[in-house]
Amino acid sequence: MGSRLISVNIATILILNPVILGSLLIPVQAYACSLWNFDWLSCFYAPKSVEAQDLEANSQNIPLLQAVISPNSDASSTNDNLIIVEGTSLSPETESLPALKTLDDDQISLYVVHPGDTLPAIAKMFGVSVNTIRWGNDLSGNTITPGQTLVILPLTGVKHIVRRGDTLQSIAKLHKADINDILQYNNLSLNSKLSLGQEIIVPDGIEGGVQSSGSSSGVGKTGPLYPIYDGYYMRPIVGGVKTQGIHGHNGVDLASVYGANIYAAAAGEVIISKNSGWNGGYGEYIVIKHDNGTQTVYGHLSETDVSVGDTVTQGEVIGKMGRTGHATGVHLHFEIRGARNPF
């Protein structure tokens, strides 16, 4: 009688107390629930295992990407590579090497050679020819050394296919170009023999009276297509005259006396200062990078008075007028890359 009474009482308790009944019927997996846990929905779901929790990505365990800054690296060999160009990341799965140009194709770029680099690889990376790099850096062959800084000049010009009767002089005359530029760029001499179908690149050449892109990059923009920054640039010389209007890369020729002061057209940082060499026809020249994203170029100087990395103010003397490089007389070749040239 006593045992039956105890059984009845226990059954009664279980029937009248669903809390206790539920806790006994819940699978052992729901071990986080207790008699005092009334959140029944959560009780019917097992907590994640420690291993599953460890697989969740967070700021502490997400894998970091590697940066690739040399063209000899194989971007397709791993999914963890990331190419960084001027602060912008490019995924190797979706971007190809020729896309690594500056935001404006007219901008002059600099590249520091890394171990294992080759001229063809660097040329492919910037979308230019090997000759463009040779021409802009006074290189006679393919030899480059780690740590060397290369200037990448976007080339303005046309491609000429040699026809019967063509000579270097006639090609230069046809495209209104300088024969010395043609010789320098194509690694030719005045005595070089031309063959039918041979491809000749004519730097700063014109075709049909209109600036043409040919097979070169960074060509085809004229003054009106550029943004206008009224009052941003000052005239880089005092006095003198303009001897040639817009030509080449948005440049003008301003002539005065030999050794006349050349002034910074706007404040900025000196990124190139060459005091010797042909340098793609610029001779001794300076390039200044400005806060509005543009560059100014000062060519054919007789003297450079600033160094790479210098910060200059508007109107500061940066060099002297001369006739180095491709210059038929004393003058300053002044370019504004990325904005309309008001001079």
Q: What is the CA radius of gyration of the chain?
A: 35
Domains 157-211 and 223-337 share a fold: no
Delimit the domains of the chain by residue range.
2-55, 66-152, 157-211, 223-337
User: In the structure, what pLDDT confidence band is assigned to residue 250 with cuts at 50, 70 and 90?
Assistant: confident
Please list, residue by residue across 196-222, b when 16 or more beta carbons sit within 10 angstroms of its beta carbon and e when fewer do.
Answer: eeeebbbbbbbbeeebbbbebbbbebe
Q: Bridge-partner residues for 263, per DSSP?
A: 317
CA distance linking residue 343 with residue 232, whole number of Å: 12
Q: What is the mean pLDDT of residues 88-100?
A: 33
Q: Half-sphere exposure (CA, 13 Å, Cβ side) for 166?
A: 20
pLDDT of residue 105: 63
Q: What is the mean pLDDT of residues 201-218?
A: 55
HEC profile of 281-325: HCCEEEEEECCCCCEEEEEEEEEECCCCCCEECCCCEEEEEECCC
Q: Bridge-partner residues for 274, per DSSP?
A: 285
Q: Which CATH architecture has domain 157-211?
A: Roll (3.10)
pLDDT per residue as tens digits for the range 113-132: 999 999 999 999 988 888 88
Q: What is the mean pLDDT of residues 75-94?
A: 34
Q: What are residue 207's phi and psi, to 5 degrees?
A: -135, 120
CATH number given to 66-152: 3.10.350.10
Helical spans, DSSP H, in the chain: 2-16, 18-25, 40-43, 50-55, 119-126, 130-137, 168-174, 179-186
CA distance linking residue 151 with residue 11, whole number of Å: 92
Lowest average pLDDT, out of 91-105, 204-218, 235-249, goes to 91-105
Q: Are 239 and 256 in contact (CB under 8 A)?
A: yes
The answer for residues whose C-beta is within 8 angstroms of residue 116's C-beta and 6 or more apart is 70, 72
The enclosing H or E element of 177 equals none
For 223-337, the fitting CATH number among 2.60.40.3500, 3.40.50.150, 1.10.760.10, 2.70.70.10 is 2.70.70.10
